[in-house]
């Protein structure tokens, strides 16, 4: 198992394991503190079965996360195509974060996973650089709607793609952070959403100075 298989090729027990891992992360469990037995109990399978498909605990995690990111961004891509304008796409994205804020830990954890230094984090990043991941890579999914927005004349030209992707990424991250640190930094998520939205639009759609 690599986490990069086609969705229909993945054995049911492996899917149950992936779902268990994601559920646990969404419930706020710290990745490094999740036990193999917790995963297999949750998946409703025997402990040994995990090792029929994977060699180590880290591999289970890395594959589950890679699978999840691919699934998320596949759906994201489909849903974003249903929105008519870049502004509506952005609004939809922020609304999703809001709607899934009960899963707020998951977003944050995904950012951790992409940036931290653990063994399985490295595995995830490695897998994300493979060809079969490309299509669902965040950079490419966001890149696509940005290109379409430019083609429609909604987004001003002249900005490097990397910067635009990071602008979206950073805006969404800011909003997520404001949700997950609400108690600690005393911010109103509602207000933050509105400001983040305006900021990104101003940045990407405003007239260049």
Partner DNA sequence: AATGAATGAGTTTTCATTCAT
Partner DNA sequence: TATGAATGAAAACTCATTCAT
Q: Least distance from C-beta 116 to DNA, angstroms?
A: 17
What does the per-residue mask of binding to DNA show for 48-67, with x meaning CB under 7 A? xx-xx--xxx----------
Binding test (CB under 7 A) with DNA, winner from 45, 76, 172, 179? 45
- Choice between 7 and 163, CB closer to a copy of itself: 163
What does the per-residue mask of binding to a copy of itself show for 149-178, with x meaning CB under 8 A? -----------x-xx-xxx-xxx-xx--xx
What does the per-residue mask of binding to a copy of itself show for 80-109, with x meaning CB under 8 A? -------------------------x--xx
Of 67-126, binders to DNA (CB under 7 A) are none
Q: CA-to-CA distance for 50 and 36, rounded, in angstroms? A: 8
- Two tokens, residue 23: 């559920």
Burial of 82 from C-beta contacts in 10 A (0-12 / 13-18 / 19+): exposed
Q: What is the DSSP string of 43-100?
A: HTS-HHHHHHH-SSHHHHHHHHHHHHHHHHHHHHHHHHHHSSSHHHHHHHHHHHHHHT
70-74 contacts at long range (C-beta below 8 A, 24 or more positions apart): 70/3, 70/4, 70/133, 70/136, 71/7, 73/136, 73/137, 73/138, 73/141, 74/136
Contacted entry of a copy of itself, DNA, none for residue 192, CB cut-off 5 to 8 Å set by kind: a copy of itself
Question: Which residues lie closer than 8 Å to 116 by C-beta, 6 or more apart?
Answer: none
- Two tokens, residue 123: 């595995």
Taking CB under 7 A as the rule, does residue 36 contact DNA? yes
- Binding residues vs a copy of itself (CB under 8 A): 28-30, 32-33, 105, 108-109, 112, 114-119, 121, 125, 128-129, 139, 160, 162-163, 165-167, 169-171, 173-174, 177-178, 180-181, 183-188, 191-192, 195, 199, 202-203, 206, 209
- Binding residues vs DNA (CB under 7 A): 11-13, 33-37, 44-49, 51-52, 55-57
């Amino acid at each position: 198992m690599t986490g990069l298989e086609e969705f229909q090729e993945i054995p049911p027990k492996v899917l149950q394991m992936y779902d268990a891992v994601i559920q646990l992360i969404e419930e706020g469990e710290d990745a490094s503190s999740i036990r193999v037995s917790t995963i297999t109990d949750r998946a409703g399978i025997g402990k040994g079965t995990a090792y029929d498909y994977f060699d180590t605990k880290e591999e289970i995690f890395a594959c589950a996360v890679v699978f999840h990111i691919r699934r998320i961004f596949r759906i994201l891509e489909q849903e974003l195509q249903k929105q008519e304008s870049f502004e509506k796409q952005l609004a939809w994205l922020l609304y999703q974060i809001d709607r899934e804020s009960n899963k707020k830990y998951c977003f944050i954890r995904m950012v951790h996973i992409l940036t931290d230094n653990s063994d399985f984090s490295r595995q995830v990043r490695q897998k994300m650089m493979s060809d079969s991941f490309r299509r669902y890579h965040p950079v490419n999914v966001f890149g696509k709607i940005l290109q379409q927005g430019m083609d429609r004349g909604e987004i001003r030209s002249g900005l490097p793609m990397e910067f635009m992707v990071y602008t979206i990424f950073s805006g969404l991250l800011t909003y997520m952070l404001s949700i997950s640190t609400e108690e600690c930094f005393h911010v109103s998520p509602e207000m933050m959403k509105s400001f983040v939205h305006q900021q990104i639009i101003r940045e990407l759609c405003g007239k260049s100075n």
